[in-house]
Chains A and B, each alone.
Chain A
């Protein structure tokens, strides 16, 4: 145990590790902020689809010799726009994502098979390579994250209104048709950033799981956002630190912490719901 601690502390002195932690913290922040809205809008599958298409974009960039980060970003934005254009009704959303995602993944696999370079790069696109993140990538990540947070702060209130109460929001003049694709693009950008760190397969564990956990224990949108950010940071920073010495994949720890938080919050939520239900039954039954 003592050895593990000192070994980990030594590794934390390394500039490469510190860069990785900064990148992870930025990602945890922005994913945590978007998460509750993603959960409220039932976009988990959409995030998954977008992340697979970010993988396709990253693979294309690798093949032509560009930074896969830019390719992932482009792929995710194109995916968000295409999903938005193809989906006319909410009921179609599921099947549209399924169709687009499987095709995109197929293209990505084909592109990777043409790529003769470092196979670690290939694997990294799927399961993440945060410890290999360089300062250029951190700059891209931070710039994109700041842009996402600025846009989100401008549209936050009407977006929340449209997400929780679309009928009245539309009646009050909230432009639903503008907000949905705009939010999809924001999600696409953050998803692409996540692909760089935890990989496209595990983006869900930062975008969805912390927010889903937070939504189990509070009904206040503000508190849900704060908790979601805290849980995301805990998972991503904690996951990296714990995985340093054993040298095991970061993703395993990140998803593990994320999932444990989620289970814990479900238990708390269930206990509270039972208590609330009992109180209701006592006070409201004759009404």
Chain B
């Protein structure tokens, strides 16, 4: 289970002990409770995977942290502020969705918006410095070769690399990822998750990684938040990804097998739990 509750330090400018903290957090729609009594502290540089079947409130948790959805009870603090008050200190990587092929936007424009797209004005000052920053992050994710191409014509894997660059450019304290590997092939899954891993190790960016499939990120995960039907468990993968814990969560017989370095979950309502992804790009 979670480490002892550490009071959140919110004094700005000071290195925070917790990047994200939830206290007695509850989210319900009518009488349907997604989760309740959720206490969670994520420290800088920590990689937290959020797992669970569809409809268990994984994406709603992200919406709460972004301030797009209020908690039904409890409190939340994100990057030293209430949710929605410090979104410019957060990075967000969405699912890969095919962008309109006619979109008038190059790879570098998409990335650059991650730096200052939320600021008012046209942004004519400091263009040279901005270009350097964008070039650096494009090189970091290996996207220099297609930075000037229309984003809509790039493959899913290329688009997700740009998404990572876009999120990293603003040097976020917390990276919120909503199934960023979905619909990517294995090679690109590895590239994208390694880019995220490198950043959190070098810059102490905390990562909250929503996924229905833990295996692609298993070596990176420090802790797991597993949500099922209003119940949840928090702990290391070794603690949570066991037959006993998941059977308790799902309230049915679930078997967790370790096959080489992969985790195979059997019996956890496989339809909702495992989307069989089509490997390969659009």
Residues of chain A having any CB pair with chain B under 8 Å: 36, 39-40, 153-158, 160-161, 164-165, 167-174, 215, 218-221, 224, 273, 276, 280, 284, 287
Determine which of A39, A155, A172, A280 lies in contact with B87 in the assembled complex, contact meaning CB atoms within 8 Å.
A172
CB distance from B145 to the nearest CB of A (A): 9
Stretch from B9-17, B149-157, B205-213, B270-278 at the A interface = B149-157
In the complex, B88 has a CB within 8 A of chain A: yes
Q: A221 near B90 (CB under 8 angstroms)?
A: no
CB distance from B87 to the nearest CB of A (A): 3
Determine which of B66, B88, B119, B163 lies in contact with A157 in the assembled complex, contact meaning CB atoms within 8 Å.
B119
CB distance from A211 to the nearest CB of B (A): 9
Query: Complex Cα distance A215/B94, Å?
Result: 26
Number of interface residues of B (CB under 8 A): 39
Q: B118 near A220 (CB under 8 angstroms)?
A: no
CB distance from B227 to the nearest CB of A (A): 20
**Contact A156:B105 (CB < 8 A) given known A174-B117, A276-B153:** no
- Interface set, chain B 57-90, CB cutoff 8 A to A: 66-68, 84, 87-88, 90
Residues of chain B having any CB pair with chain A under 8 Å: 66-68, 84, 87-88, 90, 92, 94, 102-106, 109-110, 113-114, 116-123, 148-151, 153, 155, 157, 163, 166-167, 170, 176, 187
| Closest chain B residue to A174, Cβ basis | B118
Q: Cβ of A164: which chain B residues have Cβ within 8 Å of it?
A: 103-105, 109-110, 113
Q: A172 near B94 (CB under 8 angstroms)?
A: no
Query: Complex Cα distance A170/B90, Å?
Result: 12
Q: Cβ of B118: which chain A residues have Cβ within 8 Å of it?
A: 157-158, 161, 169, 172-174
**Residue from A155, A167, A168, A224 with most neighbouring chain B CB atoms (10 Å):** A168
Query: Complex Cα distance A158/B116, Å?
Result: 8
Q: Cβ of B163: which chain A residues have Cβ within 8 Å of it?
A: 168
Query: Complex Cα distance A187/B176, Å?
Result: 35
Determine which of A157, A224, A273, A280 lies in contact with B120 in the assembled complex, contact meaning CB atoms within 8 Å.
A157
